[in-house]
């Protein structure tokens, strides 16, 4: 379930010097990349959907019209209705809020925790590093979806706990990334110089190391949002994520299984929404990587 694109990025180490400063150039590079712009547009589209959901979607997405159960797509219900007679289009629009919220906040959570652990490991080295790195190794050796399931089983199934579980399983990816950045920056001359003139660790961290790690984190983070959305949908599909009547996409898919043949639209559209959103983030992530790190272009 993990997004493989992410794993590959880890293999291609980035050169920090290339990503220093020229954000504008990166933006220019990004704009030139048509596919990345498409990705950006898809993401923007879903973000707008999420923000303006109350205005776009029909009112009362949870209102049950049992007389209108499982209607095929029509002029009134563009994407048909589900087994409660609710408008699928409207639910998908509101579902965008949930998926984007889970994607962003889970990744922000893993970035924060991963960064702290990664910086500590990279900066202090020695036994601290060994313990933290070994911990990351352990986490990565887990089948991640099983780990997420176990965490949700402990915390109880809810959207928030699914989010926490997803954040936890993604921590080591960011931790390792930051750690390797810190290690390579630490040896740079200007850090040595900064230490020489007596700058405190904290200041060094904030003024030099963190900014230098930003670019790869943004790239990784964008791709990780895609993964997180998929993982949340998977947990929702298993009934371990958002609870009814919340219009979470994975949960909508799970509900549709019963009507695979009689009402395939209940299955097709939520899945399509997941796929498009994830695609948007993946395309954008690819574009960002190329833009921020021209050396890695293939």
Instruction: Establish if 126 lies at the interface with other proteins (CB under 8 A).
Output: no
| Cα separation, 274 vs 31, whole angstroms | 25
For other proteins, which is the closer residue by CB, 140 or 210? Answer: 140
Q: Hey, what are 295's tokens?
A: 């050396």
CB atoms within 10 A of CB 131: 13
Instruction: Establish if 41 lies at the interface with other proteins (CB under 8 A).
Output: no
Stretch that binds other proteins, among 20-28, 72-80, 147-155, 206-214 (CB under 8 A): 147-155
Q: How far is the CB of 212 from other proteins (least distance, A)?
A: 27
Residue 250 has, within 13 A of its CA and on its CB side, a CA count of: 24
Q: Hey, what are 101's tokens?
A: 């919220």
Instruction: Establish if 69 lies at the interface with other proteins (CB under 8 A).
Output: yes
Q: How far is CA 251 from CA 110, 114, 236, 237, in A?
A: 24, 29, 5, 5
Stretch that binds other proteins, among 89-97, 101-109, 141-149, 175-183 (CB under 8 A): 141-149
Size of the site for other proteins (CB under 8 A): 64
Residue 81 DSSP one-character state? B
For 40-67, give one letter per residue: b (16+ CB within 10 A) or e: bebbeebbebbeebeeebeeebeeeeee
| Cα separation, 126 vs 250, whole angstroms | 43
For other proteins, which is the closer residue by CB, 79 or 226? Answer: 226
Stretch that binds other proteins, among 110-118, 173-181, 207-215, 243-251 (CB under 8 A): 243-251
Instruction: Establish if 244 lies at the interface with other proteins (CB under 8 A).
Output: yes
The site for other proteins (CB under 8 A) is made up of 1-5, 7-8, 11, 35, 64, 66, 69, 83-84, 134-135, 137-138, 141-146, 149-154, 156-157, 226, 230, 233-234, 237-240, 243-245, 250, 253, 255-262, 264, 267-268, 271, 274-275, 278-279, 282-283, 298
């Amino acid at each position: 379930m993990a997004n493989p694109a992410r794993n590959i990025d880890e293999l291609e180490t980035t050169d920090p010097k290339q990503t220093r400063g020229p954000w504008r150039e990166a933006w220019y590079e990004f704009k030139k990349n048509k596919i990345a712009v498409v990705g950006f547009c898809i993401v923007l589209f879903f973000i707008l959907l999420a923000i303006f959901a109350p205005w776009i979607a029909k009112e009362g997405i949870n209102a049950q019209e049992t007389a209108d159960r499982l209607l095929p797509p029509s002029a009134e219900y563009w994407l048909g209705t589900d087994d409660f007679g609710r408008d699928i289009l409207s639910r998908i629009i509101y579902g965008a809020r949930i998926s984007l919220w889970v994607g962003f906040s889970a990744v922000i959570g893993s970035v924060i925790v991963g960064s702290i652990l990664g910086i500590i490991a990279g900066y202090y080295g020695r036994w601290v590093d060994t313990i933290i790195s070994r911990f990351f190794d352990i986490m990565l050796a887990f089948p991640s979806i099983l780990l997420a399931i176990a965490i949700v089983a402990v915390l109880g199934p809810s959207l928030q706990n699914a989010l926490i579980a997803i954040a936890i399983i993604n921590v080591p990816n960011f931790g390792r990334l930051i750690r390797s950045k810190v290690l390579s920056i630490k040896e740079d001359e200007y850090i040595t110089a900064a230490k020489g003139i007596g700058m405190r660790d904290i200041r060094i961290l904030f003024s030099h190391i963190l900014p230098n790690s930003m670019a790869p984190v943004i790239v990784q983070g964008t791709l990780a949002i895609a993964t997180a959305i998929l993982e949340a949908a998977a947990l929702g599909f298993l009934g371990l994520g958002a609870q009814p009547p919340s219009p979470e996409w994975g949960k909508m898919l799970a509900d549709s299984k019963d009507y695979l043949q009689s009402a395939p639209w209940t299955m097709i559209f939520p899945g399509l929404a997941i796929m498009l959103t994830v695609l948007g983030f993946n395309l954008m992530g690819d574009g960002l990587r190329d833009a921020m790190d021209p050396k890695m272009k293939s």
